[in-house]
Amino acid sequence: MQEITQVPPLDLKRQYSPLAKEITAAFTKIFESGGFILGPDVQALEQELAYYVSAKRAIAVTSGTDALWLALKAIDIQPGDQVLTSPFTFFATVSAICNAGATPVFADICPDSFNLSAEKTEEVLKNDRDRKIKAIMPVHLYGQAANMVPILALAERYKLHVIEDACQAIGTHHDKGAVGTLGHLAAFSLFPTKNLGAFGDAGFVTTNDVSLANKTTLLRTHGSTVRYHHEIIGSNCRIDTLQAAILRVLLPKLESWITQRQTAAAYYDENFASLKDIIQTPKRVPYSNHTFHQYTLRVKNGKRNELTEVLTKNKIGNSIYYPIPCHLQKALAHLNLELGSFPESELAANEVLSIPIFPGITQEEQDYVIKTIQNWAK
């Protein structure tokens, strides 16, 4: 057996090589058809995604970022409105709010799940005396759902829309239902590194509200259903037909890929159990499964940079998602939010470290990662 001396953060070639013939056939079909925009494959993908997520409708779009923006525009977010979300997320969550004309407002996260805290959300809503907050955008980070029952109760009490940022959580299930069906709308990313990834940028919106689905579809194509007749101001957010065709090949494999991620995560859990004084493995919340878009440790005692150096030296892929909370980003300096505003998010940004997890990772590769971390911890 060949000695393991490196482990990539993920290996898409390994994941997709067994599907090469099917993917090539899908590409050839689109090439020969000459139909490169929308068409039957996009419609079929939308039906298949809606079925998979258990939503009434899915609208395939150009990216997860555009999915977030379209969802906000579908509920008629206006300049001067505010949208409440987590400061510990990829910046697209916030940039979509800003690009919709609204102002992001933050509530801190739960330290166990890294997701939006319902208790902190309630505190922010109680202080919104002018009722400028029009929507809540919980993020299902790393593949585990936010605590949606109290968040949805707050939204109902304050008459707010809920848009799920499910960009990292396709296939995740909450006790209340599948992620993507819990709020008024949800946004998913199909970026290549996601659990279901296109061969480029792509995403989709889900909803159980037919009128919101129709409006999102309208917004996706310049506010037009009849060529050169524009009912509202939209944009060009259509998914490429080629991506839709490829995704139709990949989608039936998703459950198997998620199971492989969960198996790998359980193996890490078992082998890191003795290191709980220095690293914390991902905690599982009782109301959601975990699909492990990332396997994210918390490295305690200010030792993360030290571990990062050791992993990098040993050619083990590792990443920090995310090193700077959104409220401390230069782009949001105008909000005048300082260090200390959201302590749990700031602590997470200083401690989180994601290690390799992907379909096809071998136990030997995991053993190399585990042994490297165990030796460092000594």
Report how many domains make up the chain. 2
Summarize pLDDT for 30-54 with one digit per residue, the tens: 999 999 999 899 999 999 999 999 9
Tell me, yes or no, whether 177 and 288 share the same domain: no
**CATH code assigned at 72:** 3.40.640.10
> Residue for token digits 């992993």?
311
The pTM (predicted TM-score) of the whole model is 0.97
Rounded to whole angstroms, how far apart are CA atoms 123 and 141?
22
Longest dimension (CA), the chain: 68
Tell me, yes or no, whether 159 and 55 share the same domain: yes
Domain boundary among 253, 272, 295: 253
| CB neighbourhood size of 279 (10 A) | 21
Tell me, yes or no, whether 195 and 312 share the same domain: no
Domain boundary among 202, 223, 253: 253
Tell me the residue range of the domain where 329 lies. Answer: 254-377
pLDDT band of residue 1 (cuts 50, 70, 90) is: low
Tell me, yes or no, whether 60 and 150 share the same domain: yes
Summarize pLDDT for 77-136 with one digit per residue, the tens: 999 999 999 999 999 999 999 999 999 999 999 999 999 999 999 999 999 999 999 999
Tell me, yes or no, whether 368 and 262 share the same domain: yes
Q: What pLDDT, on the 0 to 100 scale, is given for residue 2?
A: 80
Backbone angles phi and psi of 56, in degrees to 5: -70, -35
Rounded to whole angstroms, how far apart are CA atoms 92 and 97?
8
Q: What pLDDT, on the 0 to 100 scale, is given for residue 163?
A: 98
* Residue 175 reports pLDDT greater than 70: yes
* Residue 326 reports pLDDT greater than 80: yes
Tell me, yes or no, whether 278 and 206 share the same domain: no
Q: What pLDDT, on the 0 to 100 scale, is given for residue 174?
A: 96
Q: What percent of the chain has pLDDT over 90?
A: 98
Tell me, yes or no, whether 278 and 223 share the same domain: no
Name the 3-class secondary structure at 11.
coil
Rg over alpha carbons for the chain, rounded to the nearest Å, is: 21
Tell me, yes or no, whether 203 and 58 share the same domain: yes
Tell me, yes or no, whether 156 and 288 share the same domain: no
Domain boundary among 253, 288, 311: 253
CA-CA-CA-CA torsion for 152, 154, 158, 159, nearest 10 degrees? Answer: 10
Summarize pLDDT for 179-217 with one digit per residue, the tens: 999 999 999 999 999 999 999 999 999 999 999 999 999
Tell me, yes or no, whether 118 and 205 share the same domain: yes
Rounded to whole angstroms, how far apart are CA atoms 327 and 330?
9
Q: Is residue 106 included in any domain, yes or no?
A: yes
Tell me, yes or no, whether 51 and 143 share the same domain: yes
- Beta-bridge partner residues of 204: 60, 188
- Strands 57-61 and 133-137 come out as unpaired
Tell me, yes or no, whether 155 and 84 share the same domain: yes
Q: Is residue 8 included in any domain, yes or no?
A: no
Summarize pLDDT for 253-309 with one digit per residue, the tens: 999 999 999 999 999 999 999 999 999 999 999 999 999 999 999 999 999 999 999
